[in-house]
Structure 1
Amino acid sequence: MSGSEGSGKSGLLAWLVHHGSQRGAPAERAVHAVTPGAGRSLSGTVWSLAEQLGVVARDPEELVTVLGRDRRRTVIVLPDLHEGEGAQLVIALARLEHLRLIVESRSGSPAHQQLVDSGCAELDLDLEQWRDQRRFEQWQASLPNGEGSTVPGPADPVVDLSDPVAVCAADPWQVTAAYESDGETDHGGLRAAWWRAGQSLCREQSPASRALSLLCVLGDSADPRLAPALAELAAEADWSVEWSRVRGDMAPPWPGAVTSLALGEGPLAGCLLVTGPGGIVKALDLADASPHGRLPHGRREPADMTVMADGTVLLLDETGHIHAESSWAVRPTGSGIARLLDDSPTDTQRLLSAVQECVGTALTSTAGPGLGTVALGDTSGTVRTIGDSTDSAALHEGPVNALAVLSIPVDGETSVPLIYSGGADGTVRAWAPGHAPMPAPLVQRSCPVICLDAALTDSGPSLVVAWNDGAVQWIQCETGTQQTLSPGPPVRSVALDSDGRVFIGMDEALTCLIPQQAPTGSGPSTS
């Protein structure tokens, strides 16, 4: 939609968005995302679209990639687009056949020229066949307070981009645009942290919550005055930061991009295990992420991981096959001669042999009175258990994306496994093998579960769930207490320990937080 300044583009587009955004609007007329002032900041435009469409994207390329995975018809409206960078984003998105874009651009602007050259359809409101000048003037005169006038509004207030308190309190879209145009100065590391946290900072929230997000991704090379100032401001937030390790950190070193997290067992107790690109498994101290050792996996890229009671690490590769790494495991007891004479497989070896014959999409394990229990999810939505418990249940419509299991004490001597399962269908379900699954989901949202973990804490079973839209949700199962955090970058994996610490793994950061106790049922709707 083009035309000269004052030709009525914004008014026509506002009318279209109003009718396309109403509840019950026909599917063929529905508008799914609109970003006012799209030309103000390319990053702001990307983050706003991602937020409205329920995904996480840090840059235009990632936005195109994640939107390309969801083939549902989607209509995006971009008003006030005049710069060439924004036009490049539109052209890239327009290549996705299921997307429809309606763009407002002033005739003669750099964006207008690029869009015309791309071959898109154009509605030029300067052409007489699209205008009724008398009715347009009547409409413009009828608007209250001069709406529709071309007189510019007041200028944005100036923000000190090196002051963390000012940055957290200011309009986040204004700060994003200012940082984008001021690429020469890092403002003591504050700009780099803003860019890492990205999309999460532009949500409607308190300055304390923004300070918390920045604190999670502030590198150790930043101005040493920033962390105390952000920590003081974040004291009123719903979470507290125990530690964070960011790309480039040296003491302790950043462990690398995260694909999967797991808590250590047996000889690995007190450690957080981290896998990343390249197949390396690293053991980190839970207290500060200092390194304790590493294990080259040397096969395929690990997609999921769990640790058995004896320290054996089970790795699920991207093809769905399971590999066992026993370098850190407890060695069998008895003399060497006795072990040589008894060549029969151990209970653990029999369990591993059974598990390695399976193919799945998600993996977890827990100790037990005998072998322990390994649970595996698959593409059909079924979860099966192997070991002390052998059972299966259909829990989801579509693939199982994540699993966690707790060993729940029944009396002083026995325990039973309780499995939590997160699916691509946006549900988290609970199931005890040998029993029917709970009929209703524990949690349900309109976006897929990415990963989850569970732990027995002093307050009973607790759960942490990461969602496709970037939200991390902590739930105290018995009381219903909830807290939600959106760290900003895509969350790749989460872990939860018995002390209530939540570990969040991302591409450029690994952070440890503790949710503050909130009133029962607090947090966003689970619908």
Structure 2
Amino acid sequence: MRGTVWAVANQLGVVAGTPAELQSALLSGAPRTLRLGQPGQDPSSVRELARILREFGHVRVVVDEAADSGPPPREPVDLADPAAVCAADPLGITEAYEKDTAAHGGLRTAWLRAGQALIRDQDPAERALALLAALPAAAESHLRAALTDLAAGADWSVVWTRGRDDAAPPPPEPVAALTVSGGRLLIAGRTGAVRHLDAEPHTAPLPGRVTAMAATDDGTLLLLDERGRLHTRGPGTRLTRAVAATLAAHPGTALAATGDTVLAGDRVGSVHAFGPAGLRQAAPHAGRVTALAAYGALVFSGGADGTVCRWAPSSDAPPATLTERACPVVALHAAPTARGPAVAVAWADGLAALHRPGQEDVRAFRPGPAVRAVAVTPDAQLVLATDEMLVCVRPA
């Protein structure tokens, strides 16, 4: 069933691992016709998923005749052999891991964690990269070495990973936001507990769930909660107090900071830059602003409309589009790096990308689960967070 759900989620441009998650994604959109039954899928799983999705009546489900023919005969694969697993039919491997619950050195856990990315058409090296990023800490050491060799031709290399199930109990809460302050990665949990990598939290929880985080030059942490209110941790300034008062009356949807400027997005597509000289505004998006990032004089905004825009509040020039796709932006981070300015973008379909403004080189990576937050480190590495793990990758 998982392989069928992942294939449909890829078709829809969402992340889902269960029929319930797929239903939720479908119910949040407009009614539509959904075709099930790609060649190679298990007919019984296709029919069962069609039955579940039809129960809600929000979508018209059509099962293609190809689903009745069933998957082609498959040669048995050694599920503990990473080279064989990466080269085999991914739907067949998924079905095999669903039936065989042995750990296979940690390879099964990695496959089921990264599965939605793995069933796409791709080279074995890219599949090995996703598996390497998803390996649990307890995986057998030879698997990590073998997958590293197999991923040598991929666009990225894995620098480090941290799984929530790898930590000593109690595990850290899921990551809600990432940023870099003073050259170090800062990680905010959903309750507002902020920590450095492999360190204990050093801020008190918030009364509401965190949705965004930024850091000012004086060391003040800014946290935006799910109701759009701003919370500060640290010295604070007259400006941050004024922004907090403004967002208490007019909730924000996204947050960033650069120099002496604090930025907030809203639900109607506008970005507001609060600075010592006053307020500057732009309206780069059709619909909700979902993410903000900034460095120097530049601001980057992402929206539910799928666009990422670049804007300089100090200039009269209108915002320009950096990139766009047919799914919402969920996270942004921008920073100067040793290789030049970089912008990390995460999308609702599970894709993370590293852009270099002014250059055509764009690197993309899919970890499998939904990406909740991204950050660019000073040494040009990309850190991304999912509900289950933190992953740091470097462009190859």
Question: TM (normalized to structure 1)?
Answer: 0.70
From the superposition, tell whether residues 512 and 92 of structure 1 become closer, same or farther in structure 2 (CA, over 3 Å): same
- 1:392 match: secondary structure: strand
The answer on whether the counterparts of 1:252 and 1:291 sit within 8 Å (CA) in structure 2 is no
Query: Following TM superposition, by how much is the alpha carbon of 1:72 offset from its aligned partner in structure 2, in angstroms?
Result: 4.1
From the superposition, tell whether residues 310 and 434 of structure 1 become closer, same or farther in structure 2 (CA, over 3 Å): closer
Match of 1:101 among 61, 75, 81: 61
The amino acid of 1:405's aligned partner reads A
The amino acid of 2:364's aligned partner reads T
Q: Which residue of 1 aligns with 2:290?
A: 401
Q: Distance in 2 between matches of 1:173 and 1:43?
A: 9
Match of 1:158 among 52, 63, 76: 76
Larger Rg: 1
From the superposition, tell whether residues 154 and 455 of structure 1 become closer, same or farther in structure 2 (CA, over 3 Å): closer
* Segment drifting more, 451-460 vs 269-278: 269-278
Q: Which residue of 2 aligns with 1:464?
A: 344
Q: Which residue of 1 aligns with 2:155?
A: 238
Query: Following TM superposition, by how much is the alpha carbon of 1:70 offset from its aligned partner in structure 2, in angstroms?
Result: 1.2
Identity of aligned residues (%): 44
Query: Following TM superposition, by how much is the alpha carbon of 1:155 offset from its aligned partner in structure 2, in angstroms?
Result: 2.4
Match of 1:392 among 270, 281, 291: 281
Q: Distance in 2 between matches of 1:82 and 1:154?
A: 11
Q: Which residue of 2 aligns with 1:506?
A: 386
Report whether the alignment pairs 1:324 with 2:222: no
Deviation digits for residues 485-527 of structure 1 (CA, Å, limit 9, x no counterpart): 11100000101122111110100000111123xxxxxxxxxxx
The amino acid of 2:8's aligned partner reads L
The within-5 A match list for 1:372-383 is 372-383=260-271
From the superposition, tell whether residues 298 and 452 of structure 1 become closer, same or farther in structure 2 (CA, over 3 Å): closer
Count, aligned residues: 389
From the superposition, tell whether residues 439 and 177 of structure 1 become closer, same or farther in structure 2 (CA, over 3 Å): same
Deviation digits for residues 325-344 of structure 1 (CA, Å, limit 9, x no counterpart): 11xx5xxxxxxxxxxxxxxx
* Segment drifting more, 242-251 vs 207-216: 242-251
Q: Which residue of 2 aligns with 1:361?
A: 253
Q: Distance in 1 between matches of 2:71 and 2:24?
A: 36
Report whether the alignment pairs 1:58 with 2:17: yes
Match of 2:134 among 217, 222, 225: 217
The answer on whether the counterparts of 2:36 and 2:50 sit within 8 Å (CA) in structure 1 is no
Query: Following TM superposition, by how much is the alpha carbon of 1:276 offset from its aligned partner in structure 2, in angstroms?
Result: 2.3
The answer on whether the counterparts of 1:74 and 1:98 sit within 8 Å (CA) in structure 2 is no
Match of 1:432 among 302, 312, 319: 312
Q: Which residue of 2 aligns with 1:261?
A: 178
The answer on whether the counterparts of 2:6 and 2:115 sit within 8 Å (CA) in structure 1 is yes
Deviation digits for residues 262-285 of structure 1 (CA, Å, limit 9, x no counterpart): 112xxxx2432222233322222x
Q: Distance in 1 between matches of 2:337 and 2:343?
A: 10
The answer on whether the counterparts of 1:395 and 1:437 sit within 8 Å (CA) in structure 2 is no
Match of 2:362 among 482, 488, 492: 482
Q: Distance in 2 between matches of 1:465 and 1:404?
A: 10
Report whether the alignment pairs 1:229 with 2:229: no
From the superposition, tell whether residues 158 and 165 of structure 1 become closer, same or farther in structure 2 (CA, over 3 Å): same
Q: Which residue of 1 aligns with 2:96?
A: 178
Report whether the alignment pairs 1:280 with 2:193: yes
Q: Which residue of 2 aligns with 1:76?
A: 35
The answer on whether the counterparts of 1:76 and 1:99 sit within 8 Å (CA) in structure 2 is no
The answer on whether the counterparts of 2:42 and 2:71 sit within 8 Å (CA) in structure 1 is no
Deviation digits for residues 280-323 of structure 1 (CA, Å, limit 9, x no counterpart): 22222xxxxx2154322231111111111122111100000101
Deviation digits for residues 242-262 of structure 1 (CA, Å, limit 9, x no counterpart): 100113214899643111111
The amino acid of 1:454's aligned partner reads A
From the superposition, tell whether residues 440 and 312 of structure 1 become closer, same or farther in structure 2 (CA, over 3 Å): closer
Report whether the alignment pairs 1:91 with 2:51: yes
Q: Which residue of 2 aligns with 1:309?
A: 217
Q: Distance in 2 between matches of 1:153 and 1:237?
A: 29
Query: Following TM superposition, by how much is the alpha carbon of 1:480 offset from its aligned partner in structure 2, in angstroms?
Result: 2.0
Q: Distance in 1 between matches of 2:146 and 2:390?
A: 21
The amino acid of 1:179's aligned partner reads Y
Query: Following TM superposition, by how much is the alpha carbon of 1:86 offset from its aligned partner in structure 2, in angstroms?
Result: 4.8
The amino acid of 2:384's aligned partner reads I
Q: Distance in 2 between matches of 1:207 and 1:256?
A: 32
Q: Distance in 1 between matches of 2:190 and 2:272?
A: 28
Deviation digits for residues 436-484 of structure 1 (CA, Å, limit 9, x no counterpart): 4546411011111111111112333211111111111111112221111
From the superposition, tell whether residues 177 and 366 of structure 1 become closer, same or farther in structure 2 (CA, over 3 Å): same
Q: Distance in 1 between matches of 2:328 and 2:349?
A: 8
Q: Distance in 2 between matches of 1:95 and 1:512?
A: 41
The amino acid of 1:482's aligned partner reads V
Question: TM (normalized to structure 2)?
Answer: 0.92
- 2:285 match: secondary structure: coil
Structure 1 residue runs without a partner (length 5+)? 1-41, 112-147, 285-289, 330-347, 408-416, 517-527
Q: Which residue of 2 aligns with 1:352?
A: 240
The amino acid of 2:12's aligned partner reads L
- 1:460 match: secondary structure: coil
Which protein has greater RCO, CA pairs closer than 8 Å, 6+ apart? Answer: 2
The answer on whether the counterparts of 2:346 and 2:373 sit within 8 Å (CA) in structure 1 is yes
Query: Following TM superposition, by how much is the alpha carbon of 1:384 offset from its aligned partner in structure 2, in angstroms?
Result: 0.6
- 1:360 match: secondary structure: coil
Query: Following TM superposition, by how much is the alpha carbon of 1:186 offset from its aligned partner in structure 2, in angstroms?
Result: 1.3
Q: Which residue of 2 aligns with 1:300?
A: 208
